[in-house]
């Protein structure tokens, strides 16, 4: 039996990225002619001063996928959720007779669940299946007790380069309410709200507007008590200071900003997302201003951490 997978993920760009960050590897960094750090997986030309970096093997991302498993005369499509959060799966299966089956289920943290069982195809026949998933309980209601803390060190100020209602690159439901904040590579990033780290990517070094960079943004994803998750993206390579399963406090130093993934320049992409029923949906956020007063981020405005 040869299953044919067409995993059409139903999540937003950053939520769909689950790289194998646990693979131990070698990386290099050196300064270019303008004094900027360059990160690469290959040594630079001979004569260039270079620093060797050993990537952190313990920063592994959870597996979230559907696995076909043979069981005598049938094949079970099993949802595997190694995330420390609930995940909603949806699947469509087409058997050798052309008959289609569909299933949808919420799988609890660190567990597995049979989604659908289909007859095994005869001989070398195949079963085609499409599946998608969204992190979090469906219908989560965004209800922070306080405005979010600006995600950098206290008393620092940076410029917001994109925020709603502007939608230059934030055009889908999962990113429409995202906030981009321009900041130099290496700027400490702090948690805007307390929560549980559920996913990270740390070993990417490429950045730019090439489509090949879309899946190469380093990020930290944190689950909040109301079921929403915050994503801090485009982080600097190998600077993430937290790991899945770790609880973080509001204001905790979690990583450095960078310019990885699909990015036109150094910045932090910050977004809070909820599962709107097998659909990742970003939600509006406000930040804490002077005296705790709420501040609505706007493109071109400054943002200060209080």
pLDDT band at 122 (very low <50, low <70, confident <90, very high): confident
- Residues whose CB is less than 8 angstroms from the CB of residue 251 and which lie 6 or more positions away in sequence, other chains included: 149, 154, 190, 191
Return the pLDDT at 35: 65
pLDDT band at 194 (very low <50, low <70, confident <90, very high): very high
pLDDT > 50? residue 47:
yes
Average pLDDT in the chain: 85
The DSSP element (H or E) to which 264 belongs, if any, is none
- CATH number, span 157-304: 2.70.70.10
Tell which wins on pLDDT, 118 or 297.
297
Q: What percent of the chain has pLDDT over 70?
A: 81
Task: Please tell me the distance from the alpha carbon of residue 103 to that of residue 116, in angstroms, as a whole number.
Answer: 7
List 65's β-bridge partners, or say none.
80
pLDDT band at 193 (very low <50, low <70, confident <90, very high): very high
pLDDT tens profile 167-189: 888 989 999 999 999 999 999 99
pLDDT > 50? residue 27:
yes
Where b means 16+ CB within 10 Å and e means fewer, 190-212 reads bbbbbbbbbbbbbbbbbbeeeee
Q: Which of 24-33, 148-157, 164-173, 232-241 is predicted least confidently?
A: 24-33
In contact, 90 and 133? CB cutoff 8 Å: yes
pLDDT > 90? residue 268:
yes
Return the pLDDT at 197: 97
Rg (CA), the chain: 21
Return the pLDDT at 81: 97
Tell which wins on pLDDT, 214 or 220.
220
Phi and psi at residue 286, to the nearest 5°: -120, 150
Q: Which of 13-27, 125-139, 190-204, 220-234 is predicted least confidently?
A: 13-27
CA-CA distances (angstroms) from residue 145 to 64, 110, 224?
30, 28, 11
pLDDT band at 10 (very low <50, low <70, confident <90, very high): very low
pLDDT band at 215 (very low <50, low <70, confident <90, very high): confident
Q: Which of 133, 115, 132, 130 is nearest to 74 (CA)?
A: 115
Q: What is the residue-wise DSSP string for 163-205?
A: -TT--SS--STTTTT-EEEE--TT-EEE-SS-EEEEEEE----
- Only one residue has tokens 């700027």, namely 187
Q: Where are the domains of the chain?
A: 157-304
pLDDT > 60? residue 54:
no
Task: Please tell me the distance from the alpha carbon of residue 267 to that of residue 269, in angstroms, as a whole number.
Answer: 7
Return the pLDDT at 95: 75
pLDDT tens profile 89-114: 999 998 777 788 999 999 999 999 99
Q: What percent of the chain has pLDDT over 90?
A: 65
pLDDT tens profile 199-213: 999 988 889 888 888
Tell which wins on pLDDT, 247 or 209.
247
pLDDT > 50? residue 57:
no
């Amino acid at each position: 039996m040869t299953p044919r997978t067409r995993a059409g993920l139903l999540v937003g760009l950053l939520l769909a990225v689950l790289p194998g960050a646990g693979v131990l590897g070698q990386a290099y960094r050196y300064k270019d002619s303008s004094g900027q750090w360059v990160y690469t997986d290959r040594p630079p030309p001979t004569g260039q001063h270079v620093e060797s970096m050993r990537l952190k093997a313990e920063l592994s991302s959870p597996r979230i996928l559907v696995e076909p498993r043979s069981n005598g005369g049938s094949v079970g499509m099993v949802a595997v959720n190694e995330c420390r959060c609930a995940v909603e799966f949806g699947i469509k299966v087409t058997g050798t007779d052309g008959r289609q089956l569909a299933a949808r289920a919420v799988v609890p943290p660190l567990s597995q669940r049979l989604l659908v069982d289909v007859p095994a195809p005869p001989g070398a026949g195949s079963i085609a299946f499409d599946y998608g998933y969204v992190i979090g309980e469906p219908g989560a209601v965004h209800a922070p007790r306080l405005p979010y803390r600006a995600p950098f060190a206290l008393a620092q100020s940076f410029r917001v380069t994109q925020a709603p209602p502007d939608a230059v690159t934030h055009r889908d439901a999962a990113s429409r309410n995202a906030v981009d904040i321009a900041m130099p590579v290496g700027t400490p990033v702090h948690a805007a709200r307390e929560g549980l780290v559920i996913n990270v990517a740390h070993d990417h070094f490429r950045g730019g507007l090439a489509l090949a960079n879309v899946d190469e943004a380093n990020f930290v994803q944190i689950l909040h008590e109301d079921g929403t998750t915050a994503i801090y993206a485009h982080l600097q390579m190998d600077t993430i200071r937290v790991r899945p399963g770790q609880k973080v406090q509001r204001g905790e130093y979690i990583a450095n900003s960078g310019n990885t993934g699909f990015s036109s320049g150094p910045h932090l992409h910050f977004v809070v997302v909820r599962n709107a029923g097998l659909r990742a949906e970003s939600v509006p956020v406000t930040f804490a201003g002077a005296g705790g007063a709420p501040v609505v981020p706007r493109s071109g405005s400054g943002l200060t951490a209080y």
